[in-house]
Amino acid sequence: MRPLLTLLLVAFAGCDTTTAAAGGDYTCTNTPVLSYPQAGVAGAACKKSADCQYGTCEFSALQLAGHITTTEGVCTKNCACGAATSQCSADDNDANNLHFTCIKQIGGTASECAVKCASVADCQKINPRFNACTESSDAYGTADNVCTIQ
């Protein structure tokens, strides 16, 4: 009986909640839940969690590149959990030419969905604070360019 109990605990110990500590250090304890479908997508400006589709308004997100504020954050979605809802591309909107990719902190544990871009104009459609379309292969571990603040 003990081996079965251990197996069950291991099977259910994975993802229960998604939390972000200071500095956007995410841990996977649950797959993202679409809590506020009409709210902002990843990268949109926010002041509180209810402003964001997945209920996470992060004031120290990777996309902010160290430009931390306590008054305006960006909507984020943890992309480290591995389930279908963790996939950034699940939120792609071809009609609006809006696509997302997972960025990860190099040498750290933070991960979040970010807006793919070809130019700063793409970024400004989602969040006027974004002033850069960053080549992220070195900075964030993805080959996609993403919207950031410089």
Contact partners, residue 127, CB within 8 Å, separation at least 6: 43, 44, 45, 74, 115, 147
Tokens 């696509």 correspond to what residue? 99
List the chain domain ranges. Answer: 36-148
Task: Give pLDDT tens digits for 61-99.
Answer: 888 877 777 788 999 888 876 655 567 888 899 998 899
Contact partners, residue 105, CB within 8 Å, separation at least 6: 24, 25, 62, 111, 140
Q: Looking at residues 106-131, what average pLDDT do you find?
A: 88
Give the residue among 79, 99, 97 at the shortest CA–CA distance from 89.
Answer: 99
The pTM assigned to this predicted structure is: 0.72
